[in-house]
Structures are given as C-alpha cells and as structure tokens.
A and B are shown apart, each in its own frame.
Chain A
Amino acid sequence: MTKIPAVVEVKNVIKTFVQSGAFPWSDSVNVHAVRGVDLVVKPGEVVALVGQSGSGKTTLSRMILGLEEPSSGAIQLGGSPWSTMSERERHPYRVDYQYVPQDAMSALDPQQTALEHVIETLKALRGQSSSDAEINAKEMLVRLGLGERFGALPREMSGGEQRRITLARVLSLTPKLVVADEPTSGLEPDRREAVLRDLIGNLPEEAGCVLVTHDMGVARKWAHRCLVMLDGRVIEELDLRQSEPVHPYSQLLFHPWDYPVPEGELSASGCPFQVDCTRFKENPEAPCATSLPELTKSTHKSHRVACHLGEISATLSSEVNSN
C-alpha cells in the first residue's frame, strides 16, 4: 500500500528577518521570527497555530505557502520539496495551496461584486469557461449563505459577508491546503462560529487546514491538533479535545484571568518563559535558566510539551472511550 503524503511537512524551519528602523538612518535589527519548528498536517486535518502576537505564527504560515522563504530548514507540500522549488516550478501547484487573509476588506476588489470575485478566481486559476465558472461560483456562494448577495459590492457587505467572499474564492478552487490567518479577527463570537463552520465544513475531504488564531475557543472547538508558539518555537502540541494544556505559558494563554499578569519579558537563554513562570519560581533548582527544554514526546502520543517541569497527566475520557 502506498503511503499518502502529508499535506504539509515542515522540518526544522528557521526564519530570521533584518528589520530596518523607521528612518533611513535608524539602526536595523535581526529578528528571529521562527526558530526551528517541525509541523506535519495530514490530509483532512485541521491544525491550529496559537500564541501571542509576535510569536511567529503568521511568519510560519506564510513560509508554508512560499510567501516567505525560510532561512534554513525544509518544507514539503503534498510530498514535493516546496522550499527548494523555484517560483516557476511552484506555479502550477499554487492553485492547490490557498490563503485566507486576516483583513478581508483589503483582500477584496472594491469595484467587483461578490459573484465577480469568485468567477474571476475560477477563470484565472482553474481555467474554467465563463459559463462553468458562473455556475460553480453561484453554487459556492449559495452554499455559504450568500445566495441573495451575488450583486453586492464589498462596501455593501457586513464583516461576516466579506469573510465569506474570501472563503468562497478559496473553497471554490477545491484546494488541498487552506492556510487561514486569523479568519475571525474583528468578528463577534456568534459570527466567528458561523465563519468557521463555513470554512471547515466546506473543506474538501482530503484537504488540510492551518488555522492561525489567538482565539483559544476557536482552536479548542475546530482544530484536531493545536500548536502553541512562543518566541518562534513550538512549546506544546496537543489535541485539545483529549488533553488540557500543561505548559505554564499555554495555561496562561488559555486562561489569562486565572494566572498572575506576566511581565512579558522573554529570556534569551534557557526557557524563554522562565521570567514569568510560577513553576520555576517554586522550583528554582530546575535547569530552566540554563537549558532550553526540548519538545518531548509523551506516552500520550498526541501531546508533546517543552517544559523541564511539565507533566502530562490530563487525558480526558474520549481516548478511554475510544479504546
């Protein structure tokens, strides 16, 4: 039996930017956005990348799509060596790997109607004839609840409708991978729910999805796997439907009101979270200040954590039931 390749396979990817100052004479600084991340997205899987602003989620997701080049490391999409391919070689595959932008309004053409947006996408990227594109575009818009809004311009639509147009464009292409960068930012809780239902409910069966978010409720509800990022590294990987986060930083991220307010200072050596870590304060002899914790595999295969003082114990009944 041939093995089905993973939709995305990221191996030890590093990205360093040179960020210039506001003025030509300002000093430029090196920013380590992503510092060695491994990630696999299997067909039909939704993986959430969560973390605070500046943790490297967006950079990682852009590298997956080839919108940024990694400084080192390898990225494979559908078994092809994506990170070593030239743009010309990537071009025929690009249609299968789609991006849902954070700001829907700026991604839409202010002079095109909802229907025109989707028709143009199908004609340009799938090479469909005008009549076929129109039939398919209408079908997708109806499926996303925009059946009565074919002729609406972006400015005449609500935030949720604008999001749905970006989703309709992407989903009508039956992609193999969708990378959604905060698809629900700026929307209200009930609208968030509807947009995610539209996105994930209409994904092709074998398609993978990378969901970048800092809404923990979204990750909990919609993702099969969740990667918590801090300072460019993955510090915990878990299935939120089976386990609860155990890394002190993940716990803070998921329950910000239950823990002391962090100083927000990240340490350059050892564990980046040591300054605000209550567990390290209680166990000062632990090696957190000197050695960087590795993402260790546990007996519970879907849960990995990078913490010298972390214990994986919380396994919910779902796994027990499935056995």
Chain B
Amino acid sequence: MHELAVTENLLKTALRHGEAAAARRVTDLHLVIGELATIVGDSVQFYWDIISKGTLCEGASLHFERVPAELRCLDCGHPYKLDGALTECPACASARVRIVAGDEFRLEAIEVEG
C-alpha cells in the first residue's frame, strides 16, 4: 500500500550507488523482499517505470527474490514455513515460536554499464 514511498527510496539508493560507480546507466536491480514486508512487486514496478524516467535508472529491470516467512519452534526446534495464516508448531503444537525469516527488504545489487 505504500509502494510509491518505497519505490522513491529505492530509486534514491540505486542512483546514489550508480553515481558512485560512475555508471552511464543502471540496467538491473536485484531486490530481496520477505513475505512479511508487505510489498507488492507489481506496484513497485509500476511506480518504478514512472519515476525512473529521465534518470540513470530509466528502463532498468527489477528482479525480485521473494523470501518466504519461516518460523522455528522454541520447544522442539522444528522449522516451518508460514503458510497463509499464522499457526502453532505443526510438529508439537507449541505456541512458543519465533519468526526467523520473511522481514527482508533490501537492495542486494545493481548492474551498471559504463
């Protein structure tokens, strides 16, 4: 729902690193987005195409690596993926669980020319 704000941040970061690398053009961005980060890739792409126009990043492709949300049971150690709604540990039914992956939301790398 806040993809415009997010995409603006993304553009700023990519431009900063593109300029620092003395790039003529940024061609690709590699993003890692966890399932719990509540970011819709299609919306980011939509805003990206609009706001990157006329910048070093115009026409750059966005690549999303989605990270599923993962939990671990504190009682039996069983790791499991969040499948839709939150559930207790499927192995021992304990509610003592921790989310260990799925919050990721970062720009991993960019590819540049020049």
Q: Is A bound to B?
A: no
Chain B positions near chain A (C-beta within 8 angstroms): none
